[in-house]
Chains A and B, each alone.
Chain A
Amino acid sequence: MDCQKIEELISLYIENELSEELHDEVSAHLEQCEECTLLKEKIEEMLYVFPDLEEDVPFYVKNRIYYIPESQHIEIMPENRFGFLKWIAAAIGTFVLALNLFYFTNVYPPANRVLHSSVADVKSFAVDAGAFIQKVAESKGMYLLSIFKKEKNSDRDPEFDSYKSDKTIPISKEKSEVKKGEQNERKTNNTN
């Protein structure tokens, strides 16, 4: 019997739980092997001291257990606050997979058409946006400035202002005259 085998059996040997035959074999090995004997003696020493590690429960610990406040009578393990995120991720994943299904196959032709037209819209928008950005970049911002100026100028266009001032007054006058006429007609109808 080698040392490794003895190490596997040493606790049962100390606790006298081995068969007589095995017990004798271990005893014979221990008589010859100093290292295994040291190990056995150390374990016996430990087993002698271990029971002394047990203590009585201090009174304050018992008091704490007896008088646990009602407010603490809830689950100790905190709930996972961000547990819902995995469900959101799963929903997004499922949605994307479904979109792929309708985009790359013709399972449901209307959905396929809608998806393709939406993708085309997004692409054209991206192209437009890219062209706009490129234009702005090439003109070093002057393009944006020119648009801004145009808008400002159109607000201050004297022709437009005069048109507004010319038209609004007569229109309002006409409207007020029409309204007065209508009111008079109603009055006469009521009296009749």
Chain B
Amino acid sequence: MIVDNYSKKVYNIALNFVGNRDEAADITQDIFLKLYNNIEKFNHEEGNLTSWLLTLSRNYCIDYWRKNKYHRKNLELDDTLAVEAPASIKTPEDKAVNENESAYLRKKLMLLPPDLRTLIIMRDIEDYTYEEISEHLDIPLGTTKSRINRARTRLARILLEEKGR
């Protein structure tokens, strides 16, 4: 039940944070292992568990990123990470363009600082509201909004600079 409800969120946070499927799978497993070992602390309260899991995912990803920062310089991002768009509304050409765009955007997402990257993942990829992010991560609402805006503008500027070259 918990795995079905939360594994997609956790996996996608990890995947978009590290940009590599194998590492995302390892991180997801580690996070659920932590959950199993501490499950009695939550009294099965939905909100509490969600907040705990999201905070844990964010902190674990940031720790993982920092620990492996120097090893990552030699690691190439998984180039096959593009996401398949719904085939019914896309022609093969559109699909290829979309895959390229997704892979490119994910690659550029890695250039953001870890805390800003997490916020973009939660807001724009996982579609949490500002209020939910603020509540789950225990950050004031105004700060959440301004940080997400900062993350978006910074990423947009990176993309514009790349385009300008």
Please give the residue numbers on chain A whose beta carbons come within 8 Å of chain B beta carbons, in ascending order: 7-12, 38-39, 42-43, 46-47, 49-58, 60-62, 64-66, 68, 72-76
Contact = CB atoms under 8 A, between A and B. Distances in A.
- Looking at chain B's contact residues, the main secondary structure is helix
Given A46-B105, A64-B25, A57 B7 contact: yes
B146 interface: yes
Given A53-B16, A61-B28, 7 more contacts: A7-B153, A10-B149, A50-B105, A50-B124, A54-B125, A61-B24, A64-B29
Contacts, number: 104
Interface in B67-101: 83, 85, 98, 101
A68 B8 contact: no
- Looking at chain A's contact residues, the main secondary structure is helix
B55 interface: no
Contact of A61 (B7, B33, B34, B146): B7
B160 A62 contact: no
A46 B25 contact: no
Given A12-B145, A43-B152, A55 B33 contact: no
Contacts of B138: none
Interface size class of B (residues with CB under 8 A): 35 or more
B106 interface: yes
Contacts of A51: 124-125, 127
B124 A47 contact: yes
